Copies of this chain bind each other. A is one copy, B any other.
């Protein structure tokens, strides 16, 4: 748009969104300018707040604007001594939606991937180590994705649990191999929680 450097800049900026190329950036910019300026301004506000104020929970590493998220802060969620380890905050949303789990979480924000240089401390296993030492976790449920990396990560954390004398289980049947946890339907996910198998 040579008639508007500001519009050109907006189309460029929209391309930071995954899956947005030049054509969809133009479509989005025109749509907002012609039909939804209010929505565009609300998005600007939500973005700048989220980018500056959302951090990670000190306890579980999920996204939150608080120091400690409201799941970790809820005393009822530590009564059963369960800690469910997941790869991403989206997995928490999926597990919460089943209504089958009332323990706490630990979010790796990824998985072990030695070839990409992602080792234990990059996925917060030093923090997890500290939590296992603290003694309030009686069982770790390994809910990493059923991919090669997810399995390897679960195995690694299983060993860590064994060192600390903490019981570890892996969510099992129901989750299709090679799939992603957050895409699984609630019933399947409920089954995989109930049918978890002891590792150590």
Contact = CB atoms under 8 A, between A and B. Distances in A.
A51 B47 contact: no
Nearest to A29: B50
Contacts of A65: 4-6
Contacts of A5: 65
Interface stretch (A90-98, A114-122, A165-173, A191-199): A90-98
Interface in A2-41: 2-7, 9-10, 12-14, 16-19, 24, 26-34, 36-37, 39-41
B50 A3 contact: no
A53 interface: yes
Q: Please state the number of chain copies in the assembly.
A: 2
Contact of A63 (B33, B45, B54): B33
Interface in A35-88: 36-37, 39-54, 57, 62-65, 69-71, 88
Interface residues of A, number: 59
Contacts of A50: 6-7, 9-10, 29, 32-33, 40
Interface of A: 1-7, 9-10, 12-14, 16-19, 24, 26-34, 36-37, 39-54, 57, 62-65, 69-71, 88-90, 92-93, 96, 109
8 tightest A-B CB contacts, nearest first: A16-B39, A13-B46, A44-B47, A3-B69, A44-B48, A40-B51, A10-B50, A13-B43
